[in-house]
Amino acid sequence: VTTYSGLRGLPYKEPESIEEWLEKIGIAQAYATVFTWETEKVHSEYEELFDRVEASTERINSISSEFQQISQVRLEYMQKNGIEKWSDLDSGDDAEHLAMKEKFSEDIRVINSKGNNLKKVRSETTLPLALLTGIIDGSYTNFDSIIDDERRTQGIMSTNSHDLLWQVIGPIHNAYWSIYPRLV
């Protein structure tokens, strides 16, 4: 079953140029000429972006593991010291425990900040990777083929992953696209 957002009733407004479209979705203007690139350049850029996405994902997973470890150490500290809630502590009598709470909180803030920055970098890298994937796999032969996908998927919020629509939609607008398998 496919559902649509409120945008479904609105007419699709096609961008006037690839440059406008790139700006709208957040891909660098360097890709404006991507359909004129030599195959070797497309493959080289694809490999570089793929490696960056994988490296970002590995670092995100590592940071997630680090977050889990700190959370576990924090929980163990609370249990060992009979602390049910940090807010129950007295600022005078429990200064040492409150200092530990601040250390745990700061460590968690730093980890969350690193993770959010890495997720942003990965997201910014994934869109151009999807564009290059579509060129390599033949989904995108020109800019119009991207716009055709955009027009067909406008307003779709969710659908069954087995819907035939997703078999003909290229990577950029395909909710079920994955970077795997690696194409080159």
Helices (H) and strands (E) in the chain, counts: 5, 2
Name the residue ranges covered by the structural domains of the chain: 3-173
Contact 111, 105 (CB under 8 A): no
Query: What confidence score (pLDDT) does residue 2 get?
Result: 46
Query: What confidence score (pLDDT) does residue 3 get?
Result: 46
Contact 180, 22 (CB under 8 A): no
* Angle made by CA atoms 8, 12, 16, in degrees to the nearest 5: 160
Contact 122, 179 (CB under 8 A): no
Tokens 């390599």: give the residue: 136
Tell me how far apart the alpha carbons of residues 59 and 67 are, in angstroms, rounded to a whole number.
12
Tell me how far apart the alpha carbons of residues 147 and 158 are, in angstroms, rounded to a whole number.
20
Contact 119, 59 (CB under 8 A): no
Q: What is the pLDDT of residues 93-110, one digit of tens each?
A: 999 999 999 999 999 999
Tell me how far apart the alpha carbons of residues 66 and 104 are, in angstroms, rounded to a whole number.
12
Query: What confidence score (pLDDT) does residue 1 get?
Result: 42
Mean per-residue pLDDT pooled into runs of 10, the chain (184 residues): 52 92 96 98 98 97 97 97 94 94 97 96 96 98 96 78 84 93 96
Query: Can you give the C-alpha Rg of the chain in angstroms?
Result: 23
Tokens 């690139």: give the residue: 37
CB atoms within 10 A of CB 59: 17
Tell me how far apart the alpha carbons of residues 98 and 10 are, in angstroms, rounded to a whole number.
55
